[in-house]
């Protein structure tokens, strides 16, 4: 008995039908995929046209600008990717006017559901070649067409993250005669950016003058379209490795930390500066620190210093003033009022001379300070006009101090030969100006017990040349300062040197010439013989 199989073997016709069915379904699948790709392409193109139209309208409405866009495309699956090139926003139709915003390339990434919300959300935007020109000007009165455009509601949206490295920000001041401020921002990231929200930012940029690196974090916006200068901002900054050698005549590396808040055309700043190796020309290096409170106009960089407290060695200075540009002038002028009632003369001298200070003692200083812009040496451009006082000063050179002590003793009629130089202190005061590297002194007085000197003249900071004339007043008569034959001859000469009432009994016209290193002291014979 034969056993039959449970299933009948497939016929040749049946076996041939299976490949045909597989090919059929494969063709169907390929057709569906091609149809889907074609549909996505059509939908992307159609969506691109819609999104482009809406984006351009939104930008023109919100920023009151004319939009130019070279290329634009949208991919809608599996996520929405928006890409474009050469996006330009222009507020001013003048051909020579800079564009408000210029972007070489941009990419946006969003989920489909994110764009279906009432408040649209874009997850990430990457910008390449971003350039922003902020022109600070009074807002114009809108015409009727503009007014209706502004009434059109711009869809609310928020961008979770914006990356815009190598951005250039150019701020044009309201005064056309002032130079624009240019900031090269090497790294810039923004979070929660939107049409009506402030955005958190993190930026690394280069400060133009003096050159150095700035790291800043904070909040900016919302951007005030009508008046960019009223756009709010708040944050902190760190300024590092600023080379003060950029300003010819001074040196050192500056670091600064601070905080700021306000609006773009009035930023309140409070911070500290530290220069471990500050120097002026060939003077000694000192550790300079400052605390300051200021207001900065971010549209033109003008700075108004409410209070600057500077300290170095044993000296403290207080300054107030402004750093401001002028029409037709490249750069900014520093104008300050500087006061100090806690200073040391040796500290002030140490700043500008390479040798050991000639004098030591307490100093009081009150002066105006003006430094116009330029590429020449700082001391050649610096202008001062003020007064100073030095109390209980002594000369660091023992030989000079001995002569001063001897002068004091002889002026009081002391003929002793054992005079101790360390016991004699001197006082100075006077009015001075500085311009073109030359200091001019008037009403310069120097007094020691028994004698006083009144001088006027000039001191050339570059050459160290001295040119002073004045009078030496002494309490004693000439004959009281010497003995023997010299005393007799002094009595004969006394009528030529009689002092005026209240100035002592002896008045000697003197002059000082030579240089700082080799000063020459002498009697001004011309004034002695003058009737």
The upper half-sphere exposure of residue 373, i.e. CA atoms within 13 Å in the direction of its Cβ, equals 15
249/162 Cα distance (integer angstroms): 43
Residues in a beta bridge with 444: 455
SS (H, E, C) 462-508: CCCEEEEEEEEEECCCHHHHCCCHHHHHHHHHHHHHECCCCCCCEEE
CA distances from 77 to 30, 94, 158, 312 (A): 18, 41, 21, 65
Write 143-150 long-range contacts (CB < 8 A, 24+).
146/64, 149/60, 149/61, 149/64, 150/61, 150/64
3-state secondary structure of 137: coil
Q: What's the DSSP call for residue 37?
A: H
444/430 Cα distance (integer angstroms): 4
**214, 162, 146: which is closest to 185 by C-alpha?**
214
Longest Cα–Cα distance in the chain: 174
Taking only Cα atoms into account, the Rg of the chain, rounded to an integer number of angstroms, comes to 40
Residues in a beta bridge with 159: 122, 193
pLDDT number for residue 43? 47
Q: Which two tokens stand for residue 246?
A: 């950029």
Residue 220 in contact with residue 199, Cβ under 8 Å? yes
3-state secondary structure of 64: coil
**263, 233, 265: which is closest to 136 by C-alpha?**
265
pLDDT number for residue 167? 92
338/321 Cα distance (integer angstroms): 9
Q: What is the pLDDT of residues 453-507, one digit of tens each?
A: 888 999 887 788 889 898 888 887 777 777 666 665 666 666 766 767 666 677 7
For the chain of 531 residues, list the mean pLDDT of each consecutive stretch of 10. 51 56 63 53 54 76 84 78 89 78 90 69 88 70 46 62 90 75 88 75 87 91 81 92 84 93 91 92 87 88 91 94 81 89 86 76 92 85 91 80 80 76 79 91 87 88 85 78 65 68 74 82 67 54
Does pTM top 0.85 for this prediction? no
pLDDT number for residue 290? 94
Q: Cα angle vertex 63, ends 58, 66, to 5°?
A: 80
């Amino acid at each position: 008995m034969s056993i039959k199989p449970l299933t009948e073997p497939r016929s040749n016709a049946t076996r041939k039908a299976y490949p045909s069915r597989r090919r059929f379904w494969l063709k169907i699948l390929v057709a569906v995929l091609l149809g889907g790709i074609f549909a996505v392409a059509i939908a992307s193109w159609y969506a691109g046209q819609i999104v482009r139209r809406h984006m351009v309208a939104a930008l023109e409405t919100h920023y009151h600008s004319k939009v130019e866009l070279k290329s634009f495309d949208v991919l809608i699956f599996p996520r929405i990717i928006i890409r474009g090139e050469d996006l330009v926003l222009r507020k001013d139709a003048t051909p020579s006017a800079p564009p408000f915003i210029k972007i070489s390339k941009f990419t946006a990434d969003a989920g489909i559901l994110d764009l279906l919300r009432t408040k649209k959300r874009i997850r990430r935007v990457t910008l390449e070649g971003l350039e922003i020109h902020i022109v600070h000007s009074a807002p114009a009165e809108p015409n009727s067409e503009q007014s209706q455009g502004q009434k059109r509601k711009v869809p609310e949206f928020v961008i979770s993250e914006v990356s815009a490295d190598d951005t250039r920000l150019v701020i044009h001041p309201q005064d056309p005669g002032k130079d624009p401020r240019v900031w090269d921002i090497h790294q810039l990231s923004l979070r929660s950016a939107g049409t009506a929200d402030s955005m958190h930012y993190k930026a690394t940029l280069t400060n133009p003058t003096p050159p150095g690196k700035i790291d800043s974090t904070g909040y900016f916006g919302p951007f005030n379209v009508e008046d960019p200068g009223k756009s709010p901002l708040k944050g902190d900054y760190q300024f590092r490795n600023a080379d003060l050698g950029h300003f010819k005549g001074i040196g050192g590396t500056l670091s600064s930390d601070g905080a700021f808040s306000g609006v773009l055309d009035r930023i309140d700043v409070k911070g500290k500066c530290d220069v471990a190796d500050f120097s002026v020309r060939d003077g000694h290096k000192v550790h300079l620190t400052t605390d300051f409170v200021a207001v900065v106009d971010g549209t033109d960089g003008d700075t108004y210093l409410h209070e600057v407290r500077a300290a170095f060695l044993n000296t403290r200075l207080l300054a107030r003033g402004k750093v401001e540009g002028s029409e037709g002038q490249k750069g900014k002028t520093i104008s300050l009022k500087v006061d100090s009632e806690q200073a040391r003369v040796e500290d002030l001298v140490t700043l500008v001379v390479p040798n050991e200070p000639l004098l030591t003692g307490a100093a009081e200083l009150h002066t105006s300070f003006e430094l116009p812009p330029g590429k020449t040496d700082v001391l050649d451009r610096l202008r001062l006009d003020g007064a100073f006082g030095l109390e209980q000063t002594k000369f660091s050179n023992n030989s000079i101090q001995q002569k001063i002590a001897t002068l004091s003793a002889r002026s009081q009629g002391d003929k002793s030969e054992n005079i101790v130089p360390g016991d004699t202190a001197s006082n100075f005061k006077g009015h001075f100006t500085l311009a073109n590297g030359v200091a001019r002194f008037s009403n310069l007085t120097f007094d020691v017990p028994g004698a006083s000197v009144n001088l006027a003249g000039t001191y050339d900071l570059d050459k160290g040349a001295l040119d002073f004339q004045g009078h030496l007043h002494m309490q004693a008569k000439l004959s009281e300062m010497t003995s023997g034959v010299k005393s007799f001859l002094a009595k004969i000469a006394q009528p030529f040197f009689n002092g005026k009432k209240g100035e002592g009994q002896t008045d000697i016209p003197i002059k000082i010439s030579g240089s700082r290193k080799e000063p020459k002291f002498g009697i001004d014979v011309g004034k002695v013989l003058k009737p």
